[in-house]
Structure 1
Amino acid sequence: MTDGRARTRRGLLDRRGVSETIGFVFVFALVTASVGVVYTTGIGGLEDARQDEQLTNAVRAFDVLDDNVGDLTREGAPSRATELKLSDATLGFGDPVSIEVQVNHTATDANATYSATTRPLVYSGAAGDVVYSAGATFRVDGGSAAMRAEPGLLVDDRRSMVPMLVTYPRSDSGGVGGSSTVLLVAYRQSQNLDGSFDTGPDAADEARVNVTVDSPRAAAWGRYFEDKGMTAIDGDATDGDVTYQFRTDHLLVSETVVEFDVKG
């Protein structure tokens, strides 16, 4: 009887040992899988954060570029240079963007049209793009563009101004890429007053000014025009262009031409 109880006890201990071993294997597998998931997710999240920070740094660099171009347009400087870290990105030029300004004064039957075409400067990274176009800076994430620096339109019922900044590449070689630091040099080629439109001191009403922008970032332009208090004539950006209107007594349209040279 004693031998039987001993054998039973040994059997119970053996089964308990097997159960504990199987339990340990299951727990170890679960911990290993959890660590793998956390590791994979964490690494992906860190990579996304790194790429987003690189795009944010590019936006800051374009803010400096905008200030330097401002020295050309407002201070009359002949040239300015801006350093830009690419960080596995490319720097080149996008498709042409056109801007047209149409002025009409019904009382005097006077009208005028001013237009310009520019080549946007484009930084393309893994997280998105940063675009400098017609004096405005855009951040583009997932196909959605947000204007980060404004082009400086002055909209007022008395005196208004539409500045047109035309940029183009010195050599259209397709841009540069990699992780090096490049030097972007902006040269002022010309600056003049395209036109001045005045309704006259005795005018009974203001002139109507329509501003049309044909751009892949037309929706962001439309939001900017709305923020300036302009009225949508064609606010549907799905076809690639928008037209907004404002009224004023006096309008100035200036044009500055700037050449960009990218030195890798």
Structure 2
Amino acid sequence: MADRGQSEAVGFATVFGIVLLTLTVVAAGGVAGLEDVRSHQQLSNTQRSFAVLADNADAVAAGAPSRATQMRLGGGTLAIGDTVEIAVSGTAVGNASRSFSHTETYEPLVYSLGDSQVGYSSGALVRAERDGAVLFREPAFVLTNETVLLPLLSTTHTDRTAVGGSSTLVRTVRTDRELVRANRSTYDVTVSVTSPRAAAWEDWLADRTATTCSRTGSTVTCTLRTQRLFVSVDHVAVSFG
């Protein structure tokens, strides 16, 4: 009887241990799943905030004196990202003396939450995750054999380089406008983007049917021939808080 009692006790302890372990594993998985859902929802909210920010930056570039955008951070960090460089050069077909080049270097705005990021870069919005990055808002660039239109929007930051918490206000003010080139003649044009998210830029630029693109490291270079050319730069100061 004692052996039987001991066997029942051992059996009960074993079953109880298995049940407890199962509940622990399920609970841990459930918490991780809830965290993933929460992070995904927060990134979606931030994407919407960035879309408003991009529209406001466009309005400032078009002549509005300033704009303020409420950004929901949800525990993430809004910061100045690694420098991005956009270079454009062109040579008039049949007249090599009519050539030009311009390089614009600016500071993108980047939101980070865990391994995910959402960034604003010269009108484009980029979402980056572990498995890659994609432009989910296109810049206002036109790249066709009829027209190349590059209205670059160059952002600089006037105070703090990063901010956290639940939300912050992002202010944008245009400080200068620069007309780089405007011609109605045939040009061979080269456009290069150097960015930490070069793969996302390459995917978007290569999808322009007029362009031929290649990527070396963090630089994407595209070439095309066009009949009209317009390049401008709007300089916009960005501040937090």
Q: Same fold (TM over 0.5)?
A: yes
Q: Percent identity?
A: 35
Alignment partner, residue 126 of structure 1 = 114
> Structure 2, unaligned stretches of length 5 or more?
none
Shift of 1:196: 0.8
Q: Does structure 1 residue 78 correspond to structure 2 residue 56?
A: no
Q: Does structure 1 residue 21 correspond to structure 2 residue 9?
A: yes
Alignment partner, residue 236 of structure 1 = 215
Alignment partner, residue 163 of structure 2 = 176
Shift of 1:115: 2.1
Q: Does structure 1 residue 100 correspond to structure 2 residue 100?
A: no
The letter for the 1-side match of 2:189 is V
Mapped contact 2:61–2:236 kept (Cα < 8 A): no
Alignment partner, residue 5 of structure 1 = none
Mapped contact 1:131–1:137 kept (Cα < 8 A): yes
Q: Does structure 1 residue 33 correspond to structure 2 residue 21?
A: yes
Alignment partner, residue 182 of structure 2 = 196
Alignment partner, residue 159 of structure 1 = 147
The letter for the 2-side match of 1:209 is V
Please give the root-mean-square deviation of Cα atoms over the aligned residues, in Å. Answer: 1.8
Alignment partner, residue 142 of structure 1 = 130
The letter for the 2-side match of 1:225 is L
The letter for the 1-side match of 2:192 is T
For 1:15 and 1:97, how far apart are their aligned partners in 2? 76
Report the TM-score when normalising by structure 1.
0.85
For 1:77 and 1:191, how far apart are their aligned partners in 2? 13
Shift of 1:152: 1.1
Q: Deviations over 1:181-212 (max 9, x none)?
A: 2100100112242211232xxxxxx4211100
The letter for the 2-side match of 1:124 is S
Q: Deviations over 1:127-163 (max 9, x none)?
A: 4111111211111112722111111111222222011
Alignment partner, residue 249 of structure 1 = 227
> Structure 1, unaligned stretches of length 5 or more?
1-10, 200-205
Mapped contact 1:136–1:147 kept (Cα < 8 A): yes
Moved more, 19-28 or 80-89: 19-28
4+ residue runs of structure 1 moved beyond 4 angstroms? Answer: 14-18
Moved more, 78-87 or 20-29: 20-29
Alignment partner, residue 219 of structure 1 = 199
Q: 1:219 to 1:230 in 2, by over 3 A?
A: farther
Shift of 1:256: 0.7
Shift of 1:16: 4.8
Aligned partner of residue 78 in structure 1, secondary structure: coil
Mapped contact 1:51–1:127 kept (Cα < 8 A): no
Bigger radius of gyration, 1 or 2? 1
Mapped contact 1:136–1:149 kept (Cα < 8 A): yes
Alignment partner, residue 188 of structure 2 = 208
For 2:131 and 2:53, how far apart are their aligned partners in 1? 23
Mapped contact 1:48–1:127 kept (Cα < 8 A): no
**Residue of 63, 67, 90 corresponding to 2:51:** 63
For 1:18 and 1:218, how far apart are their aligned partners in 2? 67
Q: 1:123 to 1:186 in 2, by over 3 A?
A: same
| Count of residues paired in the alignment | 240
